[in-house]
Amino acid sequence: MSGVPATAARTPLSAAARLRKGKWYEQPRWRRLGALLALAVLMAQVTGEQGVRNDLFHALEQNFKGGGVGVWVGIAVAVWLIREFFDDAVARGVSRLRERAGGPARTVRATSGRLFGRRGYRWGALGALLLVLIVLPLTVTTFWQQVLVDQIGVYVMLAVGLNVVIGWAGMLDLGFIAFFAIGAYSSAYWTGGLPVEPPVELNNFLVIPVAVVTCLVAGVLLGAPTLRLRGDYLAIVTLGFHEIVYLVAKNYAEFTGGTRGANGLDRFSLDLGFWSYDWTLDPVPYYWIQLGFVVVIIVLFLRLEHSRVGRAWTAIREDEVAAAATGVNTVRFKLLAFAIGASTSGVAGVIYASKQAFVNPEQFVVLFSILALSYVVFGGMGSVPGVLVGTAFLVWLPQFLRDRVDPQDRYMYLGALLVIMMIYRPQGLLPSRRRQRELRMAGEGVSGADALGARPGGERG
Amino acid sequence: MSLSDIWDVLVLGVVLGSLYAVIAIGYTLVYGVLQLLNFAHSEVFMSGGFGGVIALTLVEPAAGPTGLQSAGYVLLGMGAGAVLGGAVAFGLEKAAYQPLRRRNAPRLVFLLTAIGASFFLYNLAGKLFGRYPMKMPTMYENKKLFEVFGAGVSVTQLIIVLAGVLMLLTVDLVVNRTKLGSGIRAVAQDPEAAALMGVDIDKVVSRTFVLGGLMGGVAGFLFGTNLQVDYTMGFLPGITAFAAAVLGGIGNVRGAMLGGLTLGVVESFTVEIWGDAWRYVGAFAVLVLVLMFRPTGLLGERVGRTA
């Protein structure tokens, strides 16, 4: 794999001369400068002005005239100079900092290890955490209560479900929000909110099992033909499925209410005879429902992770061929993961529809699938604590930055975040230990780390 | 539907289909050498559209141009689209995929990177040029040129089909006859053996991306001429073109052409029969059906074996 042209074999002398000289811009040092400068120009555009209508070059002109590019180019050159000429000094400084920070970090790790390491302490700590989570919404403003329910609660649920598909079974599902939509529309349908009358009107709590079954069936119908094939087809098929669900919700107005959707849906209500409660506009009671479901789902999923099923997923992820050879029915377990993810998404959809009391197609665009995906990836695929923390953080961040960054740019930053995470920290913020090891081993060419078959540019499966 | 209607729809379908075929080539070539489903190719296509708009806005086409001027504008737009498309594809490969290849990353990581890159690119375009649809500046009078069995063919349609056919022939020649082509086929068959035989894999991969990017860019410009340019314009044609690549047999260049044309025709008949709202449903239905009954596509998989 050398860069020497084929004629070199016949004229060794000239080839040797060419190797020695090389072109100046092919020297690594200048290449690095070029890359940094390109990055600087890109960064200037990323952080620059918004484009305006009827003036194509407005943003570009502003960015170049307004000095944005100059600043970034300056930073790039400075970084390059430091990296090329003061590398040793920087390395020394970093190692000294590490030593100094090592002490406190060790203390923190040891304390948390002691807290969560012993069984009694662990239950105590988890109980305290749960208690904090229960009281939390009472201590914040209404705005943050809404954020907690509409976004954090919903996305935590979605992310925990998506984590089963992508983190444990190692498949890429881009149609996750389609099942969320199916859940929400099931809620609307069975509570009599859609233009079509259901056979019986159900309470929202009873809709949940119905929605779970609906999403399971949809997931199996979609997954069965595709999962037998290469895993990466699943990504595109789910994406297509999502688009179809969206189009049906939008255009099949006789059933779904079309673009306007359906308003005034039933909210949750509970009537036990001796005691009844109706959920209203107040977000906090929904938060408690979500919290309850999330806790139950997490407990179930963690049990699953260490069961036969979970081990089968791990086996498939690490080496699909070997798993099949040892008798794991790979298609069935992949299908199971896919369907479990789908039904979790459906539950989240029911709760969401009931909280909002309306559904319309714009709540279920493809963007949200990508959002959920980036939350899981950021937190750490396959690690439940990672997913929880990652989701909560990434939902909180744009709300926090609302006044400082244009909200329209959110998806751009999320896309960049996905790419950067994949390049520098594919295991995520709080990785699961197993996943981290798999990724490292995959890098050494020992095993795979997903259920997608052969790896790009590598050997074939 | 009368007979001339059918011809009308067929003409529309062939026009769309030749665009899809050109985009599908980009997917198929990259899949051939990297086994990677390059989601960001739809954004390469989109940047081609923006390249055309930028170049033509800079030049400001004269009102009522002569034939020669019109031809010049069209060629300029195609060139600009190709350059920007190729540049984006090149940058994408260097910045996002090469580090992963070096590290021997698993496939899921590649796919996630592709999704992230796609999101980043189209939102960046929306931010820079405004999140509004824009019209391509007028380059010629888009009149009806001639009729095929009663179905009118406009200038734009003729240009799209001609350019499409020309590009498809070129790519076929490049893949089958040139040194780069034998490199592509060698890497697609067996990258390790290819490397041992002295193929510079990095170069082949990067040039494959550029080749797909050039084609995708031109297709973006043509698509923008036909309809409009918009930062989200890549997504749905991108998925449809991917479906076309799978339909023809992913990794197979001639298959992508066949698949593209088929899906274009299917789509225009879907629109004619069920209405514009269901435009893309036909393509997905075809994709799922193909995956169920003939997962290797119409012409079989892989660049190395069949092309």
B260 neighbors B116 (Cβ within 8 angstroms): no
Looking at per-residue pLDDT, the higher value among A269 and A131 belongs to A131
Do the Cβ atoms of B119 and A442 come within 8 Å?
Answer: no
Query: Does A461 score more than 90 pLDDT?
Result: no
Residue of B nearest to A46 (CA): B124
Q: Does B34 sit within 8 Å of A457, measured CB to CB?
A: yes
Which pLDDT value is given to residue A217? 92
Question: Quick one: which of B158, B174, B137 has its CA closest to B59?
Answer: B137
* Contact map slice: A 411-430 vs B, CB within 8 A: 411-412, 414-419, 421-423, 426
| Among chain A residues, CA nearest to B278 | A247
CATH of domain B3-306: 1.10.3470
Phi, psi (degrees; rounded to nearest 5) at A271: -135, 105
pLDDT at residue A459, rounded to an integer: 41
Q: Report the pLDDT value the prediction gives residue A453, as an integer from 0 to 100.
A: 56
- Report domain extents, chain A: 23-48+58-92, 148-365
User: What confidence score (pLDDT) does residue A230 get?
Assistant: 66
- Greater confidence (B64 vs A323) lies with A323
Residue A242 pLDDT more than 50? Answer: yes
Which of A115-119, B133-137, B279-283 shows the lowest per-residue confidence on average (mean pLDDT)? A115-119
Comparing CA positions, the residue from B147, B139, B149 lying closest to residue B66 is B139
Token pair recorded at residue B196? 């041992």
How confident is residue A15, by pLDDT bands cut at 50, 70 and 90? Answer: low
pLDDT tens column, B252-268? 888 888 999 999 999 99
Looking at this predicted complex, what is its ipTM? 0.85
Query: For residue B23, is pLDDT > 80?
Result: yes
Test A56 with B246 for CB contact under 8 angstroms.
no
Specify the higher pLDDT residue, B302 or B258. B258
Distance from CA of B21 to the nearest CA of A (A): 18
A249: chain B residues, CB-CB within 8 Å: none
Query: pTM of this prediction?
Result: 0.84
Average model confidence (pLDDT) across chain A = 81
Q: Which of B171, B154, B144 is nearest to B29 (CA)?
A: B171
Over residues A409-421, the pLDDT tens digits come to 888 888 888 899 8
- Residue A102 binned pLDDT confidence (cut-offs 50, 70, 90): confident
Stretch among A346-350, B60-64, B132-136, B236-240 having the lowest mean pLDDT:
B60-64
pLDDT band at A181 (very low <50, low <70, confident <90, very high): very high
Closest chain B residue to A240, measured at CA: B284
* pLDDT tens for each residue of B143-161: 777 777 777 788 888 899 9
**Minimum mean pLDDT among A198-207, A265-274, B36-45: which range?**
A265-274
The amino acid that residue B16 corresponds to is L
Size of interface A-B (CB pairs under 8 A): 213
Q: Which residue of A has its CA nearest to B54?
A: A56
A:24-83 residues touching chain B, CB 8 A cutoff: 35, 38, 45-46, 48, 50-53, 56-60
Residue of chain B nearest A237, judged by CA positions: B288
Q: Which of B39, B106, B117 is nearest residue A449 as measured by Cβ atoms?
A: B106
pLDDT, tens only, A187-218: 888 888 777 878 877 888 888 899 999 999 99
Instruction: Flag if B288 and A240 touch (Cβ within 8 Å).
Output: yes
Question: Quick check: A46 and B277 CB within 8 A?
Answer: no
Cβ neighbours of A337 in B, within 8 Å: none
Looking from the CA of A167 toward its CB, the CA atoms found within 13 Å total 36
A contact residues 291-350, partner B, Cβ 8 Å cutoff: none
| Closest Cβ opposite residue A412 in set B111, B120, B132 | B120
Inter-chain touch A449–B108, beta carbons under 8 Å: yes
Distance in Å, alpha carbon of A152 to nearest chain B alpha carbon = 21
Region of poorest pLDDT, from A149-158, A233-242, A305-314: A233-242
Instruction: Give residue A31's pLDDT.
Output: 83
Task: Name the band, by pLDDT with cuts 50, 70 and 90, for residue B92.
Answer: very high
Q: How far is CA A169 from CA A198, A215, A304, A309, A363, in A?
A: 36, 18, 12, 10, 27
Tokens 């744009």 identify what position?
A398
pLDDT in the model for residue B235: 85
Residue A2 scores a pLDDT above 50: no
Which carries the bigger pLDDT value, residue B195 or residue A449? B195
Q: In chain B, how many H helices and how many E strands?
A: 13, 2
Residue B41 pLDDT = 93
Residue in chain A nearest B284 by alpha carbon: A240
Surface-to-core class of residue B189, CB atoms within 10 Å of its CB (0-12 exposed, 13-18 middle, 19+ buried): middle
- Residue from B58, B98, B112 whose CB has the most chain A CBs within 10 Å, to mutate: B112
Beta strands in A296-335 (DSSP E): none
Distance, CA of A180 to CA of B184 (rounded, Å)? 42
Q: Which of residues 130-189 of A touch B (CB under 8 A)?
A: 166, 170, 172, 174
pLDDT at A448: 61
Share of chain A above pLDDT 90, in %: 13
